[in-house]
Amino acid sequence: MRWSSRWLLVVGVFVLGACARPQPGAPRPTSASPSAAPSPLRPTPSAGSPSPTPATAPTLPSSPGRVYYVSPAGNDANPGTRERPWASPGAASRRLHSGDTLIILRGRYRLSGDDDILTPPSGTPDGWVTIAGEAGQRPVLVGSNNLLTAIDLSGARYVRVRGLEITHDDRASGQDGWFRDGIDILAAPAEHIVLEDLYIHHVDEFGVNVQDVDDLQILDSRIVYAGFGALGGPAGAHGGWRHVVVRGCTLAYSGHYYRGGDGHDRPYDRPDGFGIEPSEGPILIENTVAAHNYGDGLDSKAARTTIRNSVVANNSCDGVKLWGSQSSVENTLIYGRGDGDATPTPWAAIVIDTTTPQAVFALRHVTVDDALGQNYLLYAQYDHPTVPITLHWENVIFASRGERAPVYLAPAVDLQARGVLFFFPHVEAPLQRGETLYDCQALPGLGAGLQCGDPRFVAPAWGEEGDYHLQAGSPAIDAGFSIGVTTDLEGRPRDAHPDLGAYEYQAADQ
């Protein structure tokens, strides 16, 4: 997390930028209904250019073992067949062996003590252990009595969990309704874990709380209203998060719930959608929405982090924050810093900051919009101005509609830019490098295709869903360079003269 105050040098005048943090007591949605989850523009899977160092998703073998069942009407003395199922998911999970599958049948399962926590054994490369909800029914694991977690995968290997809902006990009152984490990997490192088609919501701490893991896939899941953050965990003791894929997920409303309330009294002031500590990665986040989090949208301290084909919208603090070398953002829309709260803050749409000399970062086909102003739209190496890095901007749109909100690059940043559109109607100099200011006349000297102009978004927004497709006449149309990104955020093809930003123009967009 970033806590230092910031100073802005705008048109030759220093302006204090030590702004107050967003107030957590502001009213926000608290409904426990699935309909309360956000619906920002959903990215579409595409065949965009591959990451230089992508995390890969291995094909999982079918489980060769036995299939067991759990039902609210079952009995733990039964043999666990569909006709005579077990009753307790926790006890059932400990009866599994390599290759086995546990099907949790439709219903509500209250977890209140340590024996109720699901703790499956490890599988093998050819015999994964699977815990799955009944197809099309999505059973609910309901945590209560301040239970640590619903599923503990600490030390597990070759385990997949899918098709479950995990939440707190909304029928209980007081501490009986408290419930901390959806899924944990804390006590020992885990390997080869797949979490798929999960709906985790209204938990007091983390949706998924992980310290050390190697090969983790979190796929097609909604993780919302988590008090401390959707995905995160403590600093790694054995390498942290490595070889991780987050794909097709919604990570939203972190911090908007805590112990039955709206989150104003939570002890953690900046809950992120995704927030992890240093590791060697690689981390791949794609086709994912991070929205309306009280902290940052996506905050990765891992090296080799790739964010692509995603939407980062209306988060209270930073939008995207990258700390590790060889990290990039591609085909991604970032907007709405502050989430509609007009209080000036020290956060930015994009933050790049590292202590690693010669680190490399890249933004490719990214659309960035900010309405709040009063702080940098993007800053790189602000806290480490003498640490040299290389920063690539290719086919990017920067729109800063607020006052005193330029882009800041420290003197040690080697900028490699081409195809960048700046729209800063209230800022005379859109770019600041150290103490040097660059107005629209000076920008073309920094790279090919750098220009100022109104991108003509269909419906820019702040605190609500926006439409960042381009309208006819936008200077971003056909202004890009061919860089190997073959589709846009919605999977539409790009040609030899691609448009700037995340979206390719089509007349039907208007």
pLDDT digits over 322-381, tens only?
999 999 999 999 999 999 999 999 999 999 999 999 999 999 999 999 999 899 999 999
Instruction: Give residue 321's Cα distance to chain centre.
Output: 10
How many Cβ atoms from other residues are within 10 Å of residue 379's Cβ?
Answer: 25
In the Cβ-directed half-sphere of 67, how many Cα atoms lie within 13 Å?
A: 10
Domain assignments of the chain as residue spans, ordered by start: 134-509
Q: Which residue has the higher pLDDT, 6 or 480?
A: 480
C-alpha–C-alpha distance, residues 181 and 161, integer Å: 15
Instruction: Give the burial string for 325-357 (b: 16+ CB within 10 Å, else e).
Output: bbbbbbbbbbbbbbbeeeebbbbbbbbbbbeee
Nearest to 53 by CA among 362, 349, 503, 273: 362
C-alpha–C-alpha distance, residues 430 and 436, integer Å: 11
Q: Are 336 and 16 in contact (CB under 8 A)?
A: no
**What are 105-129's pLDDT values in tens digits?**
999 999 999 999 999 999 999 999 9
Report which secondary-structure segment, H or E, holds 93.
Answer: helix 89-93
**What are 475-500's pLDDT values in tens digits?**
999 999 999 999 999 999 999 999 99
Q: Are 177 and 170 in contact (CB under 8 A)?
A: yes
Q: Show the CA angle centred on residue 272, arms to residues 268 and 273, nearest 5°.
A: 145
Note if the pTM is more than 0.75. yes
C-alpha–C-alpha distance, residues 290 and 272, integer Å: 9
Q: What is the reported pLDDT for 18?
A: 28
The average confidence (pLDDT) of the chain is 89
> Is the pLDDT score of 98 beyond 70?
yes
Residues 6+ apart with CB under 8 A from 458: 467, 468, 469, 470, 471, 509, 510
Strands (DSSP E) contained in 55-95 are 67-70
Report which secondary-structure segment, H or E, holds 11.
Answer: none
202 Rama sector, left if φ>0, alpha if ψ -120 to 50, beta otherwise = left
Q: Are 467 and 43 in contact (CB under 8 A)?
A: no
How many Cβ atoms from other residues are within 10 Å of residue 135's Cβ?
Answer: 10
Q: What is the mean pLDDT of residues 263-276?
A: 95
- How large a percentage of the chain has pLDDT more than 70? 87
C-alpha–C-alpha distance, residues 498 and 503, integer Å: 9
Instruction: Give residue 359's Cα distance to chain centre.
Output: 22
Q: What is the reported pLDDT for 47?
A: 36
**What are 24-81's pLDDT values in tens digits?**
233 323 333 333 333 444 554 443 333 333 344 444 556 679 999 999 999 999 999 9
> Is the pLDDT score of 399 beyond 70?
yes
How many Cβ atoms from other residues are within 10 Å of residue 170's Cβ?
Answer: 12
C-alpha–C-alpha distance, residues 360 and 378, integer Å: 16
Q: What is the reported pLDDT for 61?
A: 53
How many Cβ atoms from other residues are within 10 Å of residue 272's Cβ?
Answer: 30
Per CATH, the architecture of 134-509 is what? 3 Solenoid (2.160)
- Classified as helix, coil or strand, 271 is coil
